[in-house]
Amino acid sequence: MELRAPAPLESGTLRIVPLGGIGEIGRNMTVFEFGGELLIIDCGVLFPEETQPGVDVILPDLTYLEGRMDEVVGLVLTHGHEDHIGGVPYLLKMRQDVPVIGSKLTLAFVESKLREHRITPQAQTVKEGMRIQVGKFDLQFIAVNHSIPDALAVVLRTQAGTVLATGDFKMDQLPLDGRLTDLNAFSRIAEEGLDLFMVDSTNADIPGFTPLEREIGPVIESVIARTPGKVVVASFASHVHRVQQVVDAAIANNRKVAFVGRSMVKNMGIAAELGYLNLPEDAIVALDETESMPDHRVVFMSTGSQGEPMAVLSRIANREHQITVSERDTVLLASSLIPGNENAVYRVIDRLTALGANVVHKGNAKVHVSGHSAAGELLYCYNILKPRNVMPIHGEYRHLTANAKLAIQTGVDPERVLVTQDGAVIDLRQGVASVVGRVRCDMLYVDGKAVGKITEEDLKDRRILANEGFISIFAVVDKQTGELVEGPEIRARAYAEEDHVFDDIKPAIERALRDAAQDGVRDNYQLQQVIRKTVGSWVAKSHRRKPMIIPIVVYSSRPA
């Protein structure tokens, strides 16, 4: 889509700007603008891929809100997963008193996260069935089923029309907590008339229906029952339902459960305190207590299901954790693979297998089901809601396209189905939604304490360093004549070559500098470029490598 700035917002029009989560799995965030006010739904993070070394997380492009934070009347959070709440601390650093609206568990997870940033949010707890006014936005909350308790869809009403944003959801008909997606509420919205349906696309390309969560419990119990040694289960640190299934299976097999990993310990403590997780006192033990327990009496519930290098499971695989595994032990990955994490996860699986452990995962056993609606469930929603306009959200481009096709199959006008991208500007006016422009929407990288200071060029340099290595060349040049006085001294790192191999290129560097001097070149930068080009051509031809080359030229005057 060509980058063009949208026209000023007309009176009576609702403007929608997704700043993340469209064309990717993660960093979900959408800004709604009406009557000079902004309402934000979700503010999550995206986890980096291997091509983004050194990056901790990736934020939505918050620069769109710079200079406009005073116009923000509220931040609504649909549920407590990191890809929907992980960016909240960075948003609130721009203005701490933005009202944060969400369900009880969602706000508890967010408040715990914000304490680490010394931020006390202005929180407002809501639940399904509630309807509140936030500035000029009339908000209603609808229960939806997901892989975390307390998830909510949001109905947003303005004079411009009615919008339903699902957040992440599925339609499990036998949910573990008995909390169904409220299709009756969907029907009532349909009777009123739905102008825009913003719907989760993550599983839109999967036919049929998402399997039931309760089908996973017996499989987990079976895996634990037939393991003679210890069991390590890795899952998302917010997947309360899955953790409950593991705890129940452990108890049924006379085992204790130890939570491992900072986020797992913290989140499960919150969930248990609020009553979302049932943890009998005698069923839970601290990690240190397991050292004196027989292996067949313990289950470790850990983080690291996505192959994160610093998470518990990777450290176990690398023999860098107090938990060890061998032939009698089982490691169970009770989660799906987030796109982009496949290589990291399979590396961990290989290392655990090499240690002798029996590794059970979604590829060889039914130990996880998705939290997102498959095509059959989405068709039901389209037929119930009969939306005038549809905007697929939350997914990569293939997911968005598959979701759009479903909408069209159920009778939605193809011209009213908007497959967009991050930064697209959509206006809803008089019942018609249309793309009216685009704002710049880049990846906002968090690297340690630096936010937004890392660029794509920086990442390119890091990839070169990681894959091709580094060569530095130091030369002293006479400032008057331009001739080489000392050097060149060449050093390489991560290049897997002995320093003496550079003896062949030194004469060429000397000749190149001499030729440049004869041509009257005295500029430091130009001389560095001469060296870089000479070394780069030689390395590419002789070694078929493209390392980072850093020439350093220092001027010196020879004594008279």
For residue range 100-154, what is the model confidence (pLDDT) as tens digits? 999 999 999 999 999 988 999 999 999 999 999 999 999 999 999 999 999 999 9
- 161-165 sheet: strands from edge to edge: 131-134, 137-143, 152-158, 161-165, 196-200, 389-393
Cα(364)–Cα(367) distance, integer angstroms: 9
Task: Tell me the pLDDT tens digit for each residue of 505-524.
Answer: 888 888 888 788 777 777 77
Quote the percentage of the chain above a pLDDT of 90: 65
DSSP-assigned letters across all residues of 10-41: PTT-EEEEEEESBSBSS--EEEEEETTEEEEE
Percent of the chain residues topping a pLDDT of 70:
91
Q: Where are the alpha helices (DSSP H) in 131-202?
A: 183-192
Quick check: 280 pLDDT over 80?
yes
d(CA 74, CA 134) in angstroms, rounded, equals 7
Quote the CA–CA distance of 359 and 348 in Å, as a whole number. 10
Per-residue pLDDT tens for 156-214? 999 999 999 999 999 999 998 999 999 999 999 999 999 999 999 999 999 999 999 99
What amino acid occupies position 398?
R
User: Using CA atoms, how far apart are residues 359 and 458, in angstroms rounded to an integer?
Assistant: 37
Q: Sorting pLDDT into bands at 50, 70 and 90, what band is 55?
A: low
Would you state the structure tokens that stand for residue 231, as one six-digit string? 């069991």
Give yes or no for residue 501 having a pLDDT over 80: no
Beta bridge partners of 390: 197, 417
Residue 345 confidence class, pLDDT cut points 50, 70, 90: confident
pLDDT over threshold 80, residue 323: yes
DSSP 8-class letter at 557: P
Average pLDDT, the chain: 89
Most confident of 48-57, 100-109, 209-218, 481-490: 100-109
Q: What is the pLDDT of residue 560?
A: 44
Report the pLDDT value the prediction gives residue 485, as an integer from 0 to 100: 79
First to last CA, the chain: 65
Q: Which three-class secondary structure string do you get for 64-84?
A: HHCCCHHHEEEEECCCCCHHH
Length of the chain: 560
pLDDT band at 534; cut points 50, 70, 90: confident
What pLDDT was estimated at residue 338? 72
Residue 549, pLDDT above cutoff 50? yes
CA distances to 33, 74, 104, 109, 513 from 91, in Å: 17, 12, 20, 16, 52
Q: What is the pLDDT of residue 173?
A: 93
Q: What is the mean pLDDT of residues 69-83?
A: 96
Q: What domains lie within the chain, and their CATH numbers?
A: 14-208+370-445 (3.60.15.10), 213-360 (3.40.50.10710), 457-556 (3.10.20.580)
